[in-house]
Amino acid sequence: MEINLNEIIPLGRSYNEYIRMFGINGSEDNFKILDCGSGPSDFNCVMNEKGNYVISIDPIYKFTKMEIEKRINETFDDIISQTEQNKNKFVWSSIKSIEELAHKRRTAMNTFLKDFDQGKIENRYISAELPSVPFENAQFDLAISSHFLFLYENILSYPFHEEAISEMLRVAKEVRIFPLLDLNANRCSYVDTIINDFTQKGYLAHILTVDYEFQKGGNQYLKIIKARPPA
């Protein structure tokens, strides 16, 4: 059986998952970070509480807290049900059961919802979306994308990915994208072409392995940076 989604669903991941997914180890504490397509994740909230700088963008931020919560409630049970029906595509080690998964996702999203209104006032949550974002060139040290680019290969075209990543590289010195898989734990067919295309444009593109794996094989992220000029 396959996981079938015909639209992008708001599903929040936790700060601890972000840290592991993107290999964040403390050297990024002084970074200005842009989280693209972050949805109802609690990364922004927790990073802000720790005194770090994160701006999150997502088109759902144009809605009110109550409207976002309503949308979460409309889609959450279906996501959990489809995950349960496809349990063989996931690694049940850090997260040991469907019930624990549901609890972790709900906890992260509840933290986000409690922070949303204050975050909007502080311009930490901005209604915007790739492939065009309202920021200056090199405004951020790092731009990240969790479970958006590559994951929705059935919805988002290769040209969209190329434009979106180019825009992330316009506003940030470094880009990290996790995972490299689609919804059914297959390696996204765009990955190698993205690496080749951006290498030809003068960027350095590397795949790095991390200690986080929930989707089977989903333990790598793509890192892209501008190549240093020759000495």
pLDDT score, position 101:
92
2 falls within a domain: no
pLDDT digit string (tens) for 186-219? 999 999 999 999 999 999 999 999 999 999 999 9
Once rounded to an integer, what is the mean pLDDT over residues 170-176? Answer: 97
pLDDT score, position 231:
45
5 falls within a domain: no
- On average, the pLDDT of the chain sits at 92
Once rounded to an integer, what is the mean pLDDT over residues 69-75? Answer: 93
Once rounded to an integer, what is the mean pLDDT over residues 142-147? Answer: 96
66 falls within a domain: yes
How do strand 172-178 and strand 220-226 relate by DSSP bridges? Answer: antiparallel
> Which residue range forms the structural domain that includes residue 189?
15-226
Burial 179-217 (b: 16+ CB within 10 A, else e): bbbbbebebbebbeebbebbeeeebebeeeebebbbbee
118 falls within a domain: yes
10 falls within a domain: no
pLDDT score, position 94:
87
pLDDT score, position 10:
82
Whether 157 shows a pLDDT value over 50: the answer reads yes
65 falls within a domain: yes
DSSP-derived 3-state class of residue 121: helix
pLDDT score, position 200:
94
- Which CATH number goes with the domain that contains 173? 3.40.50.150
Tokens 């010195």 map to which residue?
173
Cα distances (Å, whole numbers) of residue 23 to 36, 46, 128: 17, 17, 25
> What are φ and ψ of residue 148, in 5° steps?
-135, -75
pLDDT score, position 4:
52
pLDDT score, position 174:
96
Beta strands in the chain (DSSP E): 32-36, 53-57, 125-126, 140-146, 172-178, 203-209, 220-226
- % pLDDT > 70, the chain: 95
55 falls within a domain: yes
Contact 35, 54 (CB under 8 A): yes
Contacts (Cβ under 8 Å, ≥6 apart) of 34: 54, 55, 56, 57, 133, 135, 139, 140, 142, 143, 144, 168, 171, 172
Whether 28 shows a pLDDT value over 80: the answer reads no
Whether 229 shows a pLDDT value over 60: the answer reads no
What is the tally of structural domains in the chain? 1
124 falls within a domain: yes
pLDDT score, position 70:
94
Whether 185 shows a pLDDT value over 50: the answer reads yes
pLDDT score, position 2:
46
Once rounded to an integer, what is the mean pLDDT over residues 40-53? Answer: 96
> What are φ and ψ of residue 123, in 5° steps?
60, 35
Whether 9 shows a pLDDT value over 90: the answer reads no
Contact 56, 133 (CB under 8 A): no
Q: Across 34-43, 79-88, 148-157, which has the greatest mean pLDDT?
A: 34-43
